[in-house]
């Protein structure tokens, strides 16, 4: 009967890498600020493109709405009358909702315009305009970022780490 034996050199390094990977997977809190920063960028793009960024452009404002905003001295851009919602989704304000725990991250806003827009009720007398609307590409990007963090190929700020060579040494 033939037998094969495999001897692993550097088993302590392998064990340490496995423990480090498990630790990062259990506690993603150090990485959530990177996700938050990316979401702030996405939200700026979402508002600047009037929803087109996500592939779901916001319907244009009615002429009567534009006139009303003009008369009241409000910002004429869509969903930016007071910028309360915009600011709460692109930075940290008193209306920003951010929750970071070990295995999840919450992102939202308590601004008055958020609820009616994000949770558009059936039969509402205004068109749906989603302030938070991630594209499939965004979801894949976040999944890749999180996997790379867990695997230790990027740091908590999303920066690429040097590759490891044989024996745990870093390669250029």
139 φ/ψ angles, rounded to the nearest 5 degrees: -60, -40
Residues 155 and 161 sit within 8 Å (Cβ to Cβ): yes
Find how far residue 57's CA is from the centre of its chain: 20
> pTM for the whole thing?
0.80
Element spanning 97, H or E: strand 96-101
For 9, the token pair is 């050199």
**Rounded distance between C-alpha atoms, residue 133 and residue 135, angstroms:** 6
pLDDT tens string 91-129 = 999 999 999 998 899 999 999 988 888 888 888 888 889
Strand 96-101 and strand 104-109: the pairing is antiparallel
Q: What is the pLDDT of residue 113?
A: 87
What band does 172 get if pLDDT is binned at 50, 70 and 90? Answer: very low
């Amino acid at each position: 009967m033939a037998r094969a034996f495999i001897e692993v050199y550097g088993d302590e390094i392998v064990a340490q890498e496995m423990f480090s990977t498990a630790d990062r997977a259990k506690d993603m809190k150090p990485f959530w600020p990177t996700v938050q920063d990316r979401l702030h960028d996405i939200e700026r793009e979402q508002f600047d493109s009037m929803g087109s960024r996500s592939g779901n452009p916001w319907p244009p404002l009615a002429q009567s709405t534009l006139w009303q905003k003009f008369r009241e001295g409000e910002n004429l851009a869509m969903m930016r009358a007071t910028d309360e919602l915009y600011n709460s989704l692109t930075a940290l304000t008193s209306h920003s909702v951010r929750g970071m725990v070990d295995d999840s991250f919450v992102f939202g806003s308590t601004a008055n315009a958020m609820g009616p827009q994000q949770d558009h009720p059936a039969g509402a007398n205004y068109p749906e305009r989603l302030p938070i609307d991630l594209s499939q590409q965004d979801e894949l990007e976040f999944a890749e970022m999180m996997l790379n963090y867990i695997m230790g190929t990027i740091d908590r700020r999303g920066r690429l780490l040097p590759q490891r060579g044989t024996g745990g040494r870093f390669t250029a």
